[in-house]
Amino acid sequence: MIQRKIFRFGVLALIFLMPLGSFAQKGEKIQTIVIDAGHGGKDTGALGKLTTEKALNLAVALKFGNYIKENLPDVKVIYTRDKDKFVELSERAAIANRNNADVFISIHCNSTEGTTTANGAETFVMGESKNEKNLAVAKKENAAILLEDNTDAYDNFDPNSTEAYILFSLSQSLYQAQSLNIADKVQKQFAKKGRHDRGVQQAGFLVLWKTSMPSILVELGFINNAKEEEFLNSERGQTQMALALYRAFEEYKHEFESENHVSDKPKTSEKPAVVSGNSYYSVQFSTLNKKVPVTDPAFKGVKDVEVYNYKGAYRYTSGRFASKAEAEARQAQVRKLGYKDAFIIAFVNGERVSVKQAEEALKKK
Ligand SMILES: [Zn+2]
């Protein structure tokens, strides 16, 4: 639990330290999801007493996809497999890339050596494994390539070699912040369903390696724990897990697509600089993929903080100014507070436009 808190803090710190404009965006809408049921065909995945990992992964994947089809008709659902079929790990990522997917979710079940009491769900994003346990999960899942005929796609990667995983620490995804965001939502939903929350973790997974979109790998539970297997093998258990995934995805989609919005009233006590209607200059000093209150302690000292959503990320601004010169004065103040990349933005009739466009539009008035 303490570890989790430290991790969370780390994530937050990471998000705040991200340079402006570093958020990779796929587009303004979440239109395509690739759902990847782990293993399949000759690759059974982990074995339980009642069933196989590949069967549980597929059952939950199909249910999850159906919830999306029923409730979010604007989303295209693509499965890497919709039956008991072997699919190479590299092909799974390629399917997502070819289809320009906005989100990739790989579904698995865990299993432990020696003990049969481990329980709960955890979600991984691509990253350096911080402990042996996470490394072991990645090794187990990556071992699927040992069943592939042609492994050229993995640059001679040996899934059993600990050294090979160092490679992964060098290939951090552009989409890591967004992947962490989705992973966090998934874990929260699992916890809501009463599942033991093992948290958001990082490790090097070949299936996530080459995806060029936010991507996560979910471990639903432990198939070698009799109680967990019974739950995951039941209609009720599969429905709960699929629903949790659906709710997390829906929440992410909603958050991502929140319309470009400028809050009506600044929430600080100070009056904003006078501007004419919805056309003004402002100073943007921070971009986050998560909405935080404008009174967040991290913004201490910044005046007239407001937030608007643009291209899927939350952008934090200071002040509304009728002239560019006033905005420049504020920019200097904000930069002194440590936001060295703070820059001037402009709105005309509530629409975010370039400063140049604003200068032209406001001159005419
Ligand atoms: Zn697996």
Q: How far is the CA of 240 from the centre of ligand 1 (A)?
A: 19
Q: How far is the CA of 123 from the centre of ligand 1 (A)?
A: 12
Q: How far is the CA of 177 from the centre of ligand 1 (A)?
A: 24
Q: How far is the CA of 355 from the centre of ligand 1 (A)?
A: 50
Distance in angstroms (rounded) separating the CA atoms of residues 82 and 36: 9
**Roughly what angle, to the nearest 10 degrees, separates helices 235-257 and 176-192?**
140
Pair 283, 319: CB distance under 8 Å: yes
Q: Taking the CB of residue 74, how many other CB atoms lie within 10 A of it? A: 10
Provide the CATH number for the domain formed by 2-257 in this structure: 3.40.630.40
Q: How far is the CA of 21 from the centre of ligand 1 (A)?
A: 35
Q: How far is the CA of 114 from the centre of ligand 1 (A)?
A: 18
Amino acid making up residue 325: A
Distance in angstroms (rounded) separating the CA atoms of residues 60 and 71: 17
Q: How far is the CA of 109 from the centre of ligand 1 (A)?
A: 5
Q: How far is the CA of 147 from the centre of ligand 1 (A)?
A: 13
Q: Where does 172-323 have alpha helices with state H?
A: 176-192, 206-209, 226-233, 235-257
Structure tokens at 302: 């910044």
Distance in angstroms (rounded) separating the CA atoms of residues 72 and 245: 13
Structure tokens at 314: 């939350």
Distance in angstroms (rounded) separating the CA atoms of residues 330 and 302: 9
Q: How far is the CA of 108 from the centre of ligand 1 (A)?
A: 4
Q: How far is the CA of 205 from the centre of ligand 1 (A)?
A: 11
Q: What is the pLDDT along the chain (365 residues), one digit of tens a residue?
A: 444 443 443 333 333 333 333 343 445 789 999 999 999 999 999 999 999 999 999 999 999 999 999 999 999 999 999 999 999 999 999 999 999 999 999 999 999 988 889 999 999 999 888 888 999 999 999 999 989 988 888 877 888 888 888 766 656 567 888 999 999 999 999 999 999 999 999 999 999 988 989 999 999 999 999 999 999 999 999 999 999 999 999 999 998 887 433 233 333 433 333 455 688 899 998 888 778 888 888 888 899 999 888 777 788 999 998 888 999 999 999 988 888 778 899 888 778 888 888 888 776 55
pTM above 0.85, yes or no: no
Q: How far is the CA of 217 from the centre of ligand 1 (A)?
A: 9
CATH 3.90.1170.50 describes domain 280-364: no
The residues spanned by each domain of the chain are 2-257, 280-364
Q: How far is the CA of 208 from the centre of ligand 1 (A)?
A: 13
Q: How far is the CA of 335 from the centre of ligand 1 (A)?
A: 48
Amino acid making up residue 213: M
Distance in angstroms (rounded) separating the CA atoms of residues 52 and 286: 47
